[in-house]
Structure 1
Amino acid sequence: MENGAKTVVELQDILSEKQLEHILSKTAKLGAKIVGYDLKSASEGIAGFLGDHLRLTLYVKEDSVKKIHLFIKTLPMNNQPKVDMIMENNFYTREALLYQLFDDIDDAEDSNPWRPKAYIYSDKMLVMPDLSVEGYKSFPVAEYFDTDHIMITATSVARFHAAFANYATKRTINENKPYNFLEEYGHLMKSSIFVDLQWSRVTGKVSSDLLKEFSTNIKNYPADLAERFAKLCQKANMSLKEYDNTLNVIVHKDLWFNNILLRYDSGNKPTNAILLDYQCMQYGPPAFDIMLLIHLTTTRSYRERHESEVLRRYYTVFSESVDDDTKQRLAALNYDFDHFLVWCEKARMFAMLYTAFLFPYILMDPLQAQKTFDDPETFQDLLLVDRSPPVIEHAKVNDVYRNKQLDINEEIFEKYILG
């Protein structure tokens, strides 16, 4: 089967008979049989950077033939170095853990869910309903959120954090001791790649090279700009962790456009946002998530004018979504709106530096990104040696790719280096 010129593996190469039976048990009548299928790539080029993405339609015979639409994420099929990196950092294992916990974290049926359901989740695969059939779609990467989009997404992020806060409270009450997520699962939360000094150096070099190549403020940049960016990267990544005497939750940490699915009304106004891809999740103050979301999806000028409104919406929804026992726990921590805003400012550097790290990947044209970042021969070098050459070359021919990166890196320079 083909998607354009790209050949896709057959169904039996992806799902076993037992897995297919499990999917049918969740989606079809007892005794239903698969009589056909269509399997294709979810998109042209890269849809996400930590796996291959497929769309599967099963034709199932019940009283008549019906279609079951599925979305599948698997370990990369043609890039072993990327597979090794994914397995070493427990990316799929983390996401599988969260899906395992989801029914306890948030078991209510909801017409506007903040998270998807999954039929299969493991350290190698995720199979879930294809939400595009329900009208959900991702936002164009080349654009920025307006107020309607950022507010509806902030609402879902707030509900996600509140659901986990309620879960932690319930565990605290049931076990008669403070619940600590890391005591159970801390061994899965460690990501060696993001705290590796060489990773910070490579990330800092890209930011420095972009500014030196394209910024009109080149005369203001010090000779050791790359080293200064690298130190900021290292400091920012070390800052996302569990802290005492404040609220800690599961933090998504990857809230860019392809990980947010939006549903719209007849007037093309967003009515709900579903958060996808929890592979990079960590544990820490919720401010890290909302600040990262704002920096990844809005312009600098929008943040300067409206950031406080977004943070107020987030905190209001969060407060309305936590139960009475959790409100008591938050009161004991003095976790009010002012406390939350203090943490937002503490999380700002992380949000800005992590945005600068992600942009060279996620803003690149998907077909070009596939050629650039999904080649097993060059994957390790681009990850840990030097990724500047392809980033600079693409920035020369793509205005959006260049300007979005310039904006965030100039802001970082002004605030944390020049300032």
Structure 2
Amino acid sequence: MSKEPTETEHDIPSWLNDAFLETALKSEDVHGDLKVTSCKIVRATSPGDNYLSLIYRATVQTTTRGRSESRSLIIKCQPQEGFLKEMTNKYRFFELEAEMLKDVLPAMHKLLEEANIENFSPFCAKHLYSRFGPPAQVIVLEDLKESGFQMAERTAGLDREHCMIVMNKIAQFHAASLVLKQRNPQLLEAFLNPCTNDMLVNEFDFFESYMSDLCDEINTRCEYLKEYIGKIRMIGERGAKRFTEGKSRREGEFCVLAHADLWVNNMMFRYVKESRQLTDMRFVDYQLSLWTSPTVDLLYFLNSSPAMDLLEDQTEFIERYHRVLGETLCALGYQHLHITLEHLNELLESRGYFGMLSVFSIRNVVLSDDESRINLDDLSPEGKKKFKFGKMYLESLKLQIPLLEERGWLV
């Protein structure tokens, strides 16, 4: 093996080598003579940036028909041992994500391309290869960083311009899924009732202790939030069940294919280099996608990822989403599938508790620091289950909890 040593060599699985990468790249090699001559592999994410996968970046040197080439790949593989490996096997995260990347999203892209949708660009990185047998489940993707995409600063929160491009993108995504459901419904069958939707209730019996620890922190450090402790503690008693209910579709409800894990670390942005003008974005991590209410994506994102000054009044984001959803459906010839803005707002209110639970869950992950970062292994049945909460998160709650109370969502 000619893999160059790195400072994280001990973290790299032995099977992730020249031979594996050659197999992966040959899956798209039309000439059949591709050879990997060397590769350098490093961890691509930091602790706290990704939970259900290990992410590596491979810089690969190849030769094809006598011509040398260097390219960068992202290798996404399941945790190598323990509770998280068992979970990824049980809930088919990798199979479902590969199905999204290989079949569903390309079909959605084709619909939008054929309709000449304005400002359309792909929703994801290109899928190159996937495997689900031993020694590990793995997906190989193009490296979006090579095309100039990068992650935003997690703890800073997204400004208005970034939030608007997310609204544009997720509206096009939802619209394309509605049309795909009409034209090719079998492609979406795996996402109607995915086993991943029951994961939280079945595997993570921690929400009550998590909220109890939060109440202890508030009691010690947040005088201005003490009046809400009773309600917060009650929310924890049935939080996991309600979170699952909040993600699940309801009979007869307006539904779309939701990304269902739409937060700042699951998106990448591209800018004009000189001016830093935002030009494009991609979503990443499709392991939890499912057919459900569009409000699952809207509430999760808008309660977790915007900058602090954008949390109070989000009317403009909902209106932008609604407008682009309608414009896209119209361009696709399916305007009759659109809903009114009034109906959308009713749906948001009916799932307000899901937005509330997003504040008490993913918002903490967004604003976590080294001391308060959550390790999913700690949430296993044998985990320590002691939670800490950083200063930025507690400051955010100072604004968000009164907003939840005002909207009647703190229940």
When normalised by structure 1's length, the TM-score is 0.82
Are 1:403 and 2:395 matched, yes or no? yes
Relative to structure 1, is the Cα distance of residues 281 and 324 closer, same or farther in structure 2, using a 3 angstrom cutoff?
A: closer
What is the DSSP-based 3-state SS (H/G/I as helix, E as strand, rest coil) of the residue aligned with 2:193? helix
CA-CA distance at 1:295 after TM superposition: 1.3
What residue is the counterpart of 2:171 in the other structure?
Answer: 158
Q: Return 231-240 or 260-269, whichever deviates more.
A: 231-240
Q: C-alpha offsets along residues 322-370 of structure 1, whole Å, 9 cap, x if unaligned?
A: 2555323x26xxx22221121122233212312421234443346984x
2:289 maps to amino acid: M
Work out whether residues 73 and 127 of structure 1, in 8 Å CA contact, stay in contact via their aligned partners in 2: yes
CA-CA distance at 1:24 after TM superposition: 3.4
Are 1:211 and 2:218 matched, yes or no? yes
CA-CA distance at 1:277 after TM superposition: 0.3
Relative to structure 1, is the Cα distance of residues 358 and 33 closer, same or farther in structure 2, using a 3 angstrom cutoff?
A: same
**Aligned mate of 1:258, from 258, 262, 265:** 265
What residue is the counterpart of 1:120 in the other structure?
Answer: 129
**Aligned mate of 1:67, from 30, 53, 70:** 70
What is the DSSP-based 3-state SS (H/G/I as helix, E as strand, rest coil) of the residue aligned with 2:380? helix
What residue is the counterpart of 1:240 in the other structure?
Answer: 247
CA-CA distance at 1:9 after TM superposition: 2.2
CA-CA distance at 1:380 after TM superposition: 1.8
Gaps of 5+ in 1: 173-178
Work out whether residues 193 and 199 of structure 1, in 8 Å CA contact, stay in contact via their aligned partners in 2: no
CA-CA distance at 1:272 after TM superposition: 1.1
Work out whether residues 74 and 142 of structure 2, in 8 Å CA contact, stay in contact via their aligned partners in 1: yes
CA distance in 1, matches of 2:237, 2:244: 11
**Aligned mate of 1:96, from 95, 98, 105:** 98
Relative to structure 1, is the Cα distance of residues 39 and 220 closer, same or farther in structure 2, using a 3 angstrom cutoff?
A: same
Work out whether residues 153 and 272 of structure 1, in 8 Å CA contact, stay in contact via their aligned partners in 2: no
Q: C-alpha offsets along residues 307-333 of structure 1, whole Å, 9 cap, x if unaligned?
A: 1111111112111222555323x26xx
Work out whether residues 356 and 409 of structure 1, in 8 Å CA contact, stay in contact via their aligned partners in 2: no
What residue is the counterpart of 1:169 in the other structure?
Answer: 182
CA-CA distance at 1:19 after TM superposition: 6.2
1:143 maps to amino acid: A
**Aligned mate of 1:201, from 190, 199, 208:** 208
- In the alignment of these two chains, the number of paired residues is 394
What is the DSSP-based 3-state SS (H/G/I as helix, E as strand, rest coil) of the residue aligned with 2:392? helix
Are 1:380 and 2:380 matched, yes or no? yes
CA-CA distance at 1:304 after TM superposition: 2.6
2:380 maps to amino acid: Q
2:139 maps to amino acid: L
What residue is the counterpart of 1:356 in the other structure?
Answer: 360
Are 1:45 and 2:47 matched, yes or no? yes
Share of identical aligned residues, percent? 16
CA distance in 2, matches of 1:6, 1:17: 17
What residue is the counterpart of 1:188 in the other structure?
Answer: 195
Work out whether residues 94 and 189 of structure 1, in 8 Å CA contact, stay in contact via their aligned partners in 2: no
CA distance in 2, matches of 1:363, 1:222: 21
Relative to structure 1, is the Cα distance of residues 342 and 218 closer, same or farther in structure 2, using a 3 angstrom cutoff?
A: closer
Q: Return 49-58 or 401-410, whichever deviates more.
A: 401-410
What residue is the counterpart of 2:85 in the other structure?
Answer: 83
2:352 maps to amino acid: R
2:241 maps to amino acid: Q
Gaps of 5+ in 2: 114-118
What residue is the counterpart of 2:325 in the other structure?
Answer: 318
Relative to structure 1, is the Cα distance of residues 29 and 367 closer, same or farther in structure 2, using a 3 angstrom cutoff?
A: farther
RMSD of aligned alpha carbons: 3.2
What is the DSSP-based 3-state SS (H/G/I as helix, E as strand, rest coil) of the residue aligned with 1:39? strand
Relative to structure 1, is the Cα distance of residues 27 and 255 closer, same or farther in structure 2, using a 3 angstrom cutoff?
A: farther
CA distance in 1, matches of 2:328, 2:370: 37
What residue is the counterpart of 2:301 in the other structure?
Answer: 293
2:386 maps to amino acid: R
CA-CA distance at 1:218 after TM superposition: 4.7
CA distance in 2, matches of 1:309, 1:285: 20
Work out whether residues 257 and 291 of structure 2, in 8 Å CA contact, stay in contact via their aligned partners in 1: yes
Q: C-alpha offsets along residues 31-70 of structure 1, whole Å, 9 cap, x if unaligned?
A: 2211111111113434301111100011011343211210
What residue is the counterpart of 1:13 in the other structure?
Answer: 15
CA-CA distance at 1:275 after TM superposition: 0.5
Work out whether residues 53 and 79 of structure 2, in 8 Å CA contact, stay in contact via their aligned partners in 1: yes
CA distance in 1, matches of 2:164, 2:367: 22
Which has more helix, going by share of residues?
Answer: 1
What is the DSSP-based 3-state SS (H/G/I as helix, E as strand, rest coil) of the residue aligned with 1:359? helix
Relative to structure 1, is the Cα distance of residues 413 and 119 closer, same or farther in structure 2, using a 3 angstrom cutoff?
A: same
CA distance in 1, matches of 2:259, 2:78: 20
